[in-house]
Structure 1
Amino acid sequence: MIDVLVIGGGNAALCAALMAREAGASVMLLEASPRQWRGGNSQHTRNLRCMHEGPQDVLVDAYPEEEFWQDLLKVTGGATDEKLARLVIRASSKCRGWMRKHGVRFQPPLSGALHVARTNAFFMGGGKALINAYYRSAEQLGIQIRYDSPVEAIELHDGRFVAARVPARDLDGGRRPAERIEARSCVLAAGGFESNRDWLRDAWGQNERGEWAADNFLIRGTRFNTGVLLRDLLEQGADAIGDPTQAHMVAIDARAPLYDGGICTRIDCVSLGVVVNRDGERFYDEGEDFWPKRYAIWGRLVAGQPGQIGYSIIDSKAVGHFMPPVFPGEQAHSLDELARKLGLPEASFVQAIQAYNAACRLGTFDHTVLDDCHTEGLVPAKTHWARPIDTPPYFGYALRPGVTFTYLGLKTDDTAAVRFGGKPSPNLFVAGEMMAGNVLGQGYTAGVGMSIGTAFGRIAGVQAAAASRGAHSSHNRGKHHAIS
């Protein structure tokens, strides 16, 4: 029998599998996707948010625990478990050496539009390179890896993991029969339900015209995170945490693919201009805070607008101050022309831009700091980086909500144990998106998802290995007692 079964194939699952193997356990990892799509949402990541008290290898200056905590507190609005959040924060300062040991490489500090060289360590080659490094290390360590192996249900006995059920599958090599896989302990790291359109519909509901808001959502990440395992655990009485409508949701290019668009579909010029809805009206402060801290609120903001669509509007002064998008935006030499190209009502759109321009109070524009360029007497205000949109050509980008991962998940503690009626399971653990809602009740800040997955993946792996040793010892003691 396998000591530790890890269900999932992204960063958290791999961290758990590697830690369990290092602790001496035999490990099998089940990845739902084919090999070429392995890695879940982690393949689309770029960086890890890291606490550090002073300059460290690829990190500049300092990013102390309290500042990290305050950043997290701000974006979550207090919807976070401080004990678990601080556990993640502290763990983020100690993991890079271990990551390097397993082949992960970090690139020199970045400067420019992202402003995160102080807070985030970037992976050389991005998330795909990180995932490939972990899989290479796992193979070298003798971890059994199974692709095309989605788990449809978990067998439990009084909160104890017994076995996982993998359904029959039609694959290129023929039909794979259904399987029942037993293990002494298990780590759940199979992601959220962001690719389950029916579940998203249930969570977000319909408008008065019977339209489903979720039908206008795009999925930034993997199509394989359908939440089947999460629903199974919740139906079996696992303690839940989080709101099903809360997610890491970003405003992305409306022309992005339905799945796996990743980071490159993000539109990063929001703070340099204005955003209007389909009625041509502004609806939120575009200059509230630095983009890496506030970019993740915009998907949810757009989701709350008519038709779940918005439009980011800039002029030529903004060009060069943000990461250029993959697809060119609509371009025009007048505001009227831009409105027509975007399909917006000309009168209300032009009026909104003119009102914004008139309200701008220019100071010293500096996109690297919270500058003094702001609006006055305008609702909603723009509190920083407010400059008139008056220098053609003008550019417009249609935005849709892009769901990265959902926050409804399994409640846990500092041991990563799944809980049933408040009681921790002795051999079932959870990591990654399936428990991120313990730390992220709402909101997001760049790189913190990888911090959570790395911290709890490593904890879950150690705990699962220890639980498997206990189960093995108990089994042997039982056999010895029977023989004697």
Structure 2
Amino acid sequence: MKDVLVIGGGNAALCAALTAAEAGASVLLLESSPREWRGGNSQHVRNLRCMHDAPQDVLIESYSEEEFWQDLLKVTGGLTDEKLARLVIRASSNCRPWMQKHGVRFQPPLSGALHVARTNAFFMGGGKALVNALYRSAQALGVEIRYDTPVDAIEIVGGHFLSASSGAQRFEARSCVLAAGGFESNREWLREAWGQNASGEWPADNFLIRGTRFNQGVMLKRMMEAGADMIGDPSQSHCVAIDARAPLYDGGICTRIDCVSLGVVVNQDAERFYDEGEDFWPKRYAIWGRLVAQQRGQLGYSIIDAKAIGHFMPPVFPGTVADSLPELARKLGLPEAAFMRTMNDYNAACNHGQFDHTTLDNCFTEGLSPAKTHWARTVDTAPFYSYALKPGVTFTYLGLKVDETAAVRFAGKPSDNLFVAGEMMAGNVLGKGYTAGVGMSIGIAFGRIAGAQAARAVKQMKTTSDTEYAAA
């Protein structure tokens, strides 16, 4: 029997396994995917949001705990546990040396992402390199890893973990860490969470999944059935407006469309529906998936002109190009008269301030609803470009309620040997919204906490057992 069983194979699971192994525990990690798809959504990550009080190797200036907290508070609208959020924020300040010890390397932000050079540390080689480094380190520390092993049942008695099963295989352990991800790849659960809209559509039918196809939410379902305390709205998720041509699964970061704040976004009726210049893209990109999901057909169109080129990271796929706005409308299949009315009204409302996409500038619209509050420049210089948008779900926020120990709770009582990390508990910190890199901050912080707590639980069991044996 192993000391610690880790269910899951992404960043949070690996952080838990490594931490438990460092504490002297024997560890078995079960990954549902084949080896070539290991790592869950972590294969697609780019960076980690980090608190720091002074410039560091790949981070400029400073990013204080309070500023990080205010950024998180703003995007979540207050739907966050401040105590746990601040725990994550503080942990983000000292996790990089530990990660580097396990082979993870960092680099300065790539061109096109310099606006986050102060707040985010970028992984050299991206998420795939991160995952590979952590797996190599885990194996070097003696962590046993089994691929193609999706856990479909878990045995818990009185809040105490006994075993997990994958088909006919049963795995006993003295303690367990759940880090098996959300339910974003479970289309039926997404349909249930989102329901039908007023037009009779099932919005979730048109969602693309930016991350892994293996996150079916099986462990979440099993924990709900076991009576674990839950937190979060099942319809809330990290949901990004991505290229409508993206694949159904595993499109990752390359499917992002980053020019939303530089132009306008319209729906299939050629109407704008939200402030494109509300805030910097890393603080607002994750609300646009939900906004597009609320539109007819779950489609939107980002419209820019030649002036925007060079101010954003270009998408992988070329957009639709036209020499005039009417031609662009026709190519997109949008109602031309309504489109021109929207564009003319927007252009007429633009206040010609000093455009500067590196700051919250003074270019805003007047007398327009919805307003565009920053970076409002006329869209009037050919050629014109458009990118069709669909909602891309990365991970869901429904999860297990925890405290600072990462223990799974049953009717308010924490388990003595069952812990959780990563997407399965991120909803404690992320009630809604997202800001770039914070998912990794949560995964690393609670992965290490869960791993340490699981190893500590094993030591306590062994100590108690030894004491009882001596007394007998």
- Length-normalised TM-score, structure 1: 0.96
Q: Secondary structure at the match of 1:115?
A: helix
Distance 1:326 1:191 in 2: 27
Residue 210 (structure 1) shift: 3.6
Is contact 1:60-1:109 (8 Å) kept?
Answer: no
In structure 1, the partner of 2:438 is 448
| Counterpart mapping for 1:374-393 below 5 A | 374-393=364-383
| Counterpart mapping for 1:189-338 below 5 A | 189-338=179-328
Gaps of 5+ in 2: none
Distance 2:120 2:225 in 1: 37
Residue 209 (structure 1) shift: 4.8
In structure 2, the partner of 1:172 is none
Distance 2:243 2:198 in 1: 26
| Counterpart mapping for 1:78-157 below 5 A | 78-110=78-110, 112-157=112-157
In structure 2, the partner of 1:420 is 410
Quick check: 1:342 aligned with 2:341? no
Distance 1:452 1:439 in 2: 8
Q: Deviations over 1:91-148 (max 9, x none)?
A: 0000000000000000135564440000000000001100000000011111000000
Q: Secondary structure at the match of 1:428?
A: strand
Distance 2:178 2:130 in 1: 20
Amino acid at match of 2:131: I
Distance 2:262 2:311 in 1: 8
Could you say if the C-alpha distance between residues 469 and 323 of structure 1 is closer, same or farther in structure 2, counting changes exceeding 3 Å?
same
Distance 1:112 1:45 in 2: 16
In structure 2, the partner of 1:35 is 35
Gaps of 5+ in 1: 168-177
In structure 1, the partner of 2:400 is 410
Distance 1:188 1:52 in 2: 29
Q: Deviations over 1:81-100 (max 9, x none)?
A: 00000000000000000000
Quick check: 1:158 aligned with 2:148? no
| Number of residue pairs matched by the alignment | 472
Could you say if the C-alpha distance between residues 362 and 302 of structure 1 is closer, same or farther in structure 2, counting changes exceeding 3 Å?
same
Residue 476 (structure 1) shift: 3.8
Q: Deviations over 1:33-54 (max 9, x none)?
A: 0000000000000000000001
Is contact 1:110-1:116 (8 Å) kept?
Answer: no
Distance 2:357 2:196 in 1: 39
Could you say if the C-alpha distance between residues 323 and 111 of structure 1 is closer, same or farther in structure 2, counting changes exceeding 3 Å?
closer
CA RMSD for the aligned pairs? 1.0
- Length-normalised TM-score, structure 2: 0.99
Is contact 1:113-1:321 (8 Å) kept?
Answer: no
Distance 2:196 2:64 in 1: 44
Amino acid at match of 1:63: Y
Residue 472 (structure 1) shift: 2.5
Q: Secondary structure at the match of 1:215?
A: helix
Could you say if the C-alpha distance between residues 119 and 196 of structure 1 is closer, same or farther in structure 2, counting changes exceeding 3 Å?
same
Select which of 438, 443, 451 maps to 1:461: 451
Q: Secondary structure at the match of 1:375?
A: coil
% identity of equivalent residues: 77
Could you say if the C-alpha distance between residues 447 and 413 of structure 1 is closer, same or farther in structure 2, counting changes exceeding 3 Å?
same
Distance 1:211 1:120 in 2: 38
